[in-house]
Amino acid sequence: MQGKTIGILIKPKSSEIKPTLQELVSWLRERSATVLLDMAATALLHEQGGVQKSQLAAQADVLIVLGGDGTILSAARLAAERGIPILGVNVGGLGFLTEVPLNDLYRALDRLFANDFIIDERLMLQALIHRHGETVASGIVLNDIVISKGTLARMIALKIAIQGQFITNLRADGLIISTPTGSTAYSLSAGGPIVNPSVQALILTPISPHTLTHRPLIVPADMEIEVVLTSRDDGAMATLDGQVGVAIVEGDTALVRVSDRRTKLIRFPESHYYDVLREKLKWGDR
């Protein structure tokens, strides 16, 4: 890692991590790494020369993320084009995607510099929003794409097709289309299954469906999913990873497929998915 360019992305408005950030930057520079900071981090340290988040991933060889799962999701979208690896350091809440607890940071960095790590590649989704035959929005996500109702307490109507084949008309509060990584996020809260991230599949989870027979559905990762909003609902949204929202109207179509990009998470050999399930989600506890 000596001589590499390391980008640091921090959780927005997290001034309490200033001492950690100062120490981390000094540690990296002492080891001849070029450190790139986003604008929030440079402002926190009163340094000059910060870069926009979009440029951070374009110039760095590795991203170190100080934050929680939301910061990791943001970093995943930034890093996707170049496929640079991400080391997540948990300074947030649950931290399901962040590999390293804060008190283990420098032990993890020593192993990173010694090349004692593995890369865990995670499937991502691409979404295209079409209106009258034109693409009005697009994006890629690590967790999920959610089609949901507006602020009024009523359901929306969706027409769902998979690989061009009609599947169902759904009346519900919405629909979650998630990756296996996203299966432990909103989809799980809505009654969806937990799916190991190594499984190449997509999960469709209805949100509070009107008909109880509408159950979660798992489909192969090579399938394209088409969701048409068939009801007239002001305020309906397509939301990407819970962070980017696109207003949709009657007749709009969301096309969702697996992206050719992958999120590359830095992991350590002794870290196992089921250990994380038990530790973070208390899975199987009585």
List pLDDT tens digits, range 176-225: 999 999 999 999 999 999 999 999 999 999 999 998 889 999 999 999 99
The residue type at 183: S
Which of the residue ranges 150-154, 250-254, 275-279 has the most confident prediction, judged by mean pLDDT? 250-254
Domain ranges of the chain: 5-117+268-281, 124-260
Q: Contact, 19 vs 25, CB < 8 A?
A: no
**pLDDT tens, position by position, 110-159:** 999 999 999 999 999 999 999 999 999 999 999 999 999 876 667 899 99
Tokens for 131, please give them: 């209106």
Per-residue pLDDT band for 47 (boundaries 50, 70, 90) equals confident
Residue 262 to residue 128: CA distance in whole angstroms:
18
Per CATH, is 124-260 categorized as 2.60.200.30?
yes
Question: Given this model, what pLDDT does residue 2 score?
Answer: 59
Q: Look at residues 31, 21, 174, 7 and name the one whose alpha carbon lies nearest to residue 102.
A: 21
State the catalytic residue, choosing from 38, 61, 69, 222: 69
Domain 5-117+268-281 CATH (choose: 3.40.50.300, 3.20.20.10, 3.40.50.720, 3.40.50.10330): 3.40.50.10330
pTM of the model: 0.92
| DSSP letters for 135-182 | EEEEEEESSEEEEE--SSSS-EEEEEEETTEEEEEEEESEEEEE-TGG
234 is catalytic: no
Do the two domains 5-117+268-281 and 124-260 of this chain adopt the same fold? Answer: no
